[in-house]
Amino acid sequence: MEPLGKTVGKMCFRYLCIFLLLLWSFHAYSQIPEGINFQLVVRSFSNTLIANSSLSMRVQIKQGSAIGTIVYSEKHAVSTNQQGLASFVIGQGTILSGNFSSINWENGPYFACFGVDFSNGNNFQDYGSQQLMSVPYALHAKTAGSVKNSMEHYNSGNSSELVASLPITTSSPYQKKVIYSIPISDLKTNDILQASCEFEVTNPYTYNVMIASQIVLANNPTDVTGIEITEANGFNVDQNMHHGVVVKTGTHTCSANYAMKYVNVIGYSASTQALINHTLIIEQDYGRLSVLVFK
């Protein structure tokens, strides 16, 4: 069996104590703020909701991975409402180190790593991380010398996968499937697309499975080939592994005008031990495709 591309070991670090929601705060490209809005539903490490409370939140921006080099750090005094929801803007806290506005987002990936002190002090405990994807690209483009006039945002939302499972093939050609698809109309030459996706898979079998994915700019929502936005990198899903996550992000500059194109997320999997009709399950309660178009 030929390889599925570069094998990238990725773990999905999911904390019961944290739920991250990235909000899109950009109304016009020329008005992009020096910050990224975040909301968190805050729970203790024993999974108790922290409602109507004041606490300290530390944010570290790390380059390369969640254990990479810290390029910026800040802290926030935040308050939760009765649902445990806290809001703050990364880039507008009390600076601990670095300069948010001087981060070169082109040299990513970057991760926001959180620490919390429930006593509202400075004794921070690690509280999870989140890869920063499309929003920092917009911040980079703001100072990149080729400022666009507007930005459009498309989001597939959660639980909108087009397929529920991926066939596990034993050799090429692989059985590729479109997991997400978003139509994009009226693309012009030099428009910039920033696409990012996540989807989660479960391997119910007692053998390892390789899974690969890529994002393409295609002619229709069923195409498994097209203009490459991201290459087909893969990673290993261990036996009986639940909630393995695939994260992809990439950019593409249009070389022509298109009345209609589709941004498709392609997935496929393989194992030499697979039997007929074995499939890798795509979790329907997690994942999304998000596309920003800079015009």
Domain ranges of the chain: 18-142, 151-294
Q: Cβ of 28: how many Cβ atoms within 10 Å? A: 9
Give residue 247's Cα distance to chain centre. 6
Omega before 173 within 30 of 0, i.e. cis: yes
The confidence score (pLDDT) of residue 16 equals 29
The confidence score (pLDDT) of residue 217 equals 97
Q: Do domains 18-142 and 151-294 have the same CATH topology?
A: no
Fold that domain 151-294 belongs to in CATH: Jelly Rolls (2.60.120)
The confidence score (pLDDT) of residue 124 equals 92
3-state secondary structure the chain: CCCCCCECCCCCCCCCCEEEEECCCCCCHHHCCCCEEEEEEEECCCCCECCCCEEEEEEEEEECCCCCEEEEEEEEEEECCCCCEEEEEECCCEEEEECHHHCCHHHCCEEEEEEEECCCCCCCEEEEEEEECHHHHHHHHHCCCCCCCCEEEEECCCCCCCCCEEEEECCCCCCCEEEEEEEEEEECCCCEEEEEEEEEEECCCCCCEEEEEEEEEECCCCCCCCEECCCCEEEEECCCCCCEEEEEEEEEECCCCEEEEEEEEEEEEECCCCCCCCEEEEEEEEEEEEEEEEC
What CATH architecture applies to the domain 18-142?
Answer: Sandwich (2.60)
The confidence score (pLDDT) of residue 225 equals 94
Pick from 111, 118, 125, 81: nearest CA to 249: 111
The tens place of each residue's pLDDT in the chain, 295 residues long, gives: 444 433 223 333 333 233 333 333 333 333 344 677 776 778 777 767 788 999 999 999 998 888 889 999 999 999 988 877 788 888 889 999 999 888 887 777 788 888 899 999 999 988 777 777 555 545 555 544 444 456 677 877 665 688 889 999 998 899 999 999 999 999 999 888 888 888 888 888 888 898 888 999 999 999 999 999 988 877 777 776 655 667 777 888 899 999 999 999 999 999 999 998 999 988 877 778 888 888 7
The confidence score (pLDDT) of residue 167 equals 94
